[in-house]
Structure 1
């Protein structure tokens, strides 16, 4: 299963490792802001995510300023990567994270979205329709090498009412760690 461009955002409710932002349980539709929602699949151990944390937090703040919600989701099998356990997600959130950090323990959300990588972003408009999916930029491990900012460009196009191009990009990162 996957969500195609212009497809409707499914609604899920997951436990939040960052309850200071959004409470202990977060419902996707409750986080949909007037201009949309960004859903990020991420984790704690992937070097591509680790190297992008500051830029991810900055993107969450930009989204908030543009009335776009932001959610991070960890769908990795914590029995294989203990660093991706709910407890370790809480420790990471305590270091500073401006958005809910949700645990998809059953991996049903990642399956529904057909998420393949961490980090991988899904941008929905204010009606909950998918308008962009893929990477944040072309250099998640080295901010000095960034030459294209696809997610930010998509956000700006959405806000300005312009056509979003590209609508899909290949994410660069680690694979989602699926349960056996």
Structure 2
């Protein structure tokens, strides 16, 4: 597990790095595809991490609640050679089994994760409609897979953003498995 506090590269107000990645739907998705939304939540995630598994229902709920205003995009940057559970084929299976309706993309080169400064799974980045970072950090306050959340951090921040209120804390460290980097 990794507490990502030490490795933040994108700073509040910085622009979301662009990407063009293949999704579980077979299409290629780019950052510009989400310009009609009021914001975008990019979550670096994977299939095998127990922290992601514990948050997946919450991420799906965020999409159901805010998906008409906030695009939610999952990006898997793990090395799928050493971690075959994270292959695109297995991503498709997980998306179908879990009912993932948001775009779930594969970052085979790992360049997108590096450009965002992503370090763990899950590692969420919330951007406004202009693509500027407004929050980087946890989905909720459940810091172990078996913990029950008492504070829905991301939902509160999205609600504050959509209501025009300032997000009180622009970084709140997440915890999860490290991204599985290629050698």
Query: Shared fold by TM > 0.5?
Result: yes
- The alpha carbon displacement at 1:171 in A equals 0.9
- How do 1:61-72 residues align onto structure 2 when only pairs under 5 Å count? 61-65=64-68, 67-72=69-74
Structure with more relative contact order (C-alpha pairs < 8 Å, separation 6 or more): 2
Segments ≥4 residues shifted beyond 6 Å: none
- How do 1:128-143 residues align onto structure 2 when only pairs under 5 Å count? 128-139=131-142, 141-142=145-146
Measure the CA separation in 2 of the matches of 1:142 and 1:159. 30
Question: TM-score with structure 2 length normalisation?
Answer: 0.90
Give the number of equivalent residue pairs.
174
Assess if the C-alpha contact under 8 Å between 2:49 and 2:177 holds in 1: yes
1:6 corresponds to 2:13: yes
- How do 1:1-180 residues align onto structure 2 when only pairs under 5 Å count? 2-17=9-24, 19=25, 24-65=27-68, 67-95=69-97, 96-139=99-142, 141-142=145-146, 145-180=148-183
| Deviation sequence 1:96-120 (CA, Å, 0-9, x none) | 1111110000000000000011011
Question: TM-score with structure 1 length normalisation?
Answer: 0.91
Structure 1 residue runs of 5 or longer lacking an equivalent are: none
Structure 2 residue runs of 5 or longer lacking an equivalent are: 1-7
Aligned alpha-carbon RMSD (Å):
1.5
Assess if the C-alpha contact under 8 Å between 2:16 and 2:116 holds in 1: no
For 2:172, what is the secondary structure of its paired residue?
coil
